[in-house]
Structure 1
Amino acid sequence: MVEYGLRFLAGGIAVSAFAVLGDTLRPKSFAGLFGAAPSIALATLPITLSQKGAPFAAVEGRSMIVGAFALAAYSWVVCVLLKKFLLSSRTATMATLIVWFVVAFGVSAALFQLS
């Protein structure tokens, strides 16, 4: 129960801090980038470190980085499909999901093979 309380408190503080950061940036479309997911991930990483140890937290941190990299690749390809090929947003986002999976699993396989 204490763990849930710590996660709630740390997550709330982190979400608030990232919301303030997002509110100060221009253009306002950047505010959504600093929403719940990155702040919750960063807030719970120290809790994971203290409860499950450094090796487990390192794997979690690497997984977060891989996910962010895959999301960036996915977003870039969606933008290209929308602007250059004038696809509908639904078609572009659904078709590009494969890019996210390939990048995420490919980079994960390469990283975890090396470590």
Structure 2
Amino acid sequence: MSILSVLVKAIVGGVAVVGFAALGTAGHPKRFAGLFAAAPSVALASLAMTVALKGPAATVPYAQGMLIGSAGMLAYCLLSLYLIDRLHALAGSILSWLAWLAVAGGLYLALER
């Protein structure tokens, strides 16, 4: 990876972080601002640079991995809302993480050929 591609990736990522942070702070509650700022902007910057450097076909595995991971994250978030109140923070977090692993791992094994 050349210095120019790293520089462009940093600039694209920075602009995306600022954009998603603005989106996150515009909504309520404000606690989602960090979530909107970090993950989507880094993912979009990585995909944009992969398209620019390697072409659209090279982004397919990355995009598939992001979709599989997001399904696991959704399972984690929904389950942790329920479990942390009932089992306390540590046990609820561990079980929710295991749910993420089961969903993301199961989808990966089922869909990746």
Partner of 1:110: 110
In structure 1, list runs of 5 or more residues that go unmatched. none
Match of 1:21 in 2: 23
Task: Output the CA distance in 2 between the equivalents of 1:64 and 1:37.
Answer: 10
Cα distance in 2 for partners of 1:46, 1:109 equals: 26
Does structure 1 residue 76 correspond to structure 2 residue 82?
no
Aligned residue identity for 2:35:
L
Quote the RMSD (CA, aligned, Å). Answer: 1.3
The aligned length equals 111
User: Identity of paired residues, percent?
Assistant: 34
Structure 2 unpaired stretches of 5+: none
> Letter of the aligned partner of 1:71 in structure 2?
M
Determine the structure 1 residue equivalent to 2:89: 89
Give the structure-1-normalised TM-score.
Answer: 0.88
CA distance in 2, matches of 1:35, 1:88: 28
Q: Does the Cα contact within 8 Å between 2:51 and 2:59 map onto a contact in 1?
A: yes
Q: Distance in 2 between matches of 1:10 and 1:59?
A: 21
> Which stretches of structure 1, 4 residues or longer, exceed 3 Å deviation after superposition?
none
Q: Which residue of 1 aligns with 2:50?
A: 48
